[in-house]
Amino acid sequence: MPVVLNAENITVKFGGLVAVNNVSLSLEKGKILGLIGPNGAGKSTLFNAITGFAPVISGKVFFLDKDVTKLPPYIRTRYGMGRTFQTERPYEDLTVLENVLVAAFLKNNKRKDAEKIALSALEKVGLLDRAHQLSSDLNLARLRRLELAKALALEPEILFLDEIMAGLNPPALKEMIALLRELTATGISIVMVEHIMEAIIQLADHVIVLASGNKIAEGLAIDVINDENVIEAYLGT
């Protein structure tokens, strides 16, 4: 499978703090990369660096062989790098469809096309029957699927998902896992930050572990979660 994303030696600093220290990763089409590590490890910052929201001190990001390191986030989005935000909330006064339309308009400025894309995104995540409800009426599981639909409305090649499973009950978790599998079957690649190990074990083809900004382990999920350094890093926080 072709490599869709290659991040090489990424370093991000906030003042004196090295939030991400010389971390590399790559991802093949249709695969899922899991990013794990204790709180403050630098997972979200690495996401932000790759998607253009955090300044990279050194290192390069290649997306579909294009060097995107210096491009602003909205251009990366247009190229096909879609993402959800850990803290993002929908516009509560807007309907579910309107929320997805806002995202669809970022890539497509014809109303008809944007609507088509938004409806298709809602269908993919199983929210079509909720299209005209206010997003404030959705439960947590559906809110997460709305976040996913917003990312899908950008017609991404890669999806960056930041803790999209957090707080879901077991049935909702199972549904989300199945949904992400379906998306990869259509050729979408995924980088996911996730604390829920069950999701990582079931989904990730490859796992990278960060601690204090450093990559401390990588490999198959089952191997890295049993790695002594990884266990120690989690216990240390």
Task: Work out which of 34, 42, 52, 59 binds ligand ADP, going by CB under 6 A.
Answer: 42
> What are the C-alpha distances in Å from 123 to residues 47, 97, 109, 140, 183?
27, 11, 21, 18, 12
Give the nearest distance from C-beta 12 to ligand ADP in angstroms.
8
For the chain, how far is it from start to end, CA to CA, in angstroms?
37
Give the interface size with Mg ion as a residue count (CB under 5 A). 2
* CB nearer ligand ADP, residue 39 or residue 186: 39
Which residues between 34 and 53 bind Mg ion (CB under 5 A)?
A: 43-44
Give the nearest distance from C-beta 160 to ligand ADP in angstroms.
12
Euclidean distance between CA atoms 54 and 45, whole angstroms: 7
* CB nearer Mg ion, residue 53 or residue 62: 53
Residue 42 interacting entry, from Mg ion, ligand ADP, none, C-beta within 5 to 8 Å by type: ligand ADP
3-state DSSP call for residue 46?
helix
Which H or E run contains 47? helix 43-51
Give the nearest distance from C-beta 40 to Mg ion in angstroms.
8
Assess 77 for contact with Mg ion (CB under 5 A): no
Q: What are phi and psi of 56, to 5 degrees?
A: -90, 125
Euclidean distance between CA atoms 221 and 227, whole angstroms: 10
Which range of residues in 37-45, 88-96, 142-150, 215-223 is near ligand ADP by CB under 6 A?
37-45
Query: Are the C-beta atoms of 57 and 12 separated by less than 8 Å?
Result: yes
Nearest of 21, 220, 215, 221 to residue 229 by alpha carbon: 215
Give the nearest distance from C-beta 162 to ligand ADP in angstroms.
8
Assess 43 for contact with ligand ADP (CB under 6 A): yes
Task: Work out which of 21, 24, 30, 40 binds ligand ADP, going by CB under 6 A.
Answer: 40
Assess 37 for contact with ligand ADP (CB under 6 A): yes
Query: Are the C-beta atoms of 34 and 207 separated by less than 8 Å?
Result: yes
Is the sign of the CA dihedral 94, 158, 179, 218 positive or negative? negative
- Which residues make up the interface to Mg ion (CB under 5 A)? 43-44
Binding site for ligand ADP (CB under 6 A): 14, 17, 19, 37, 39-45
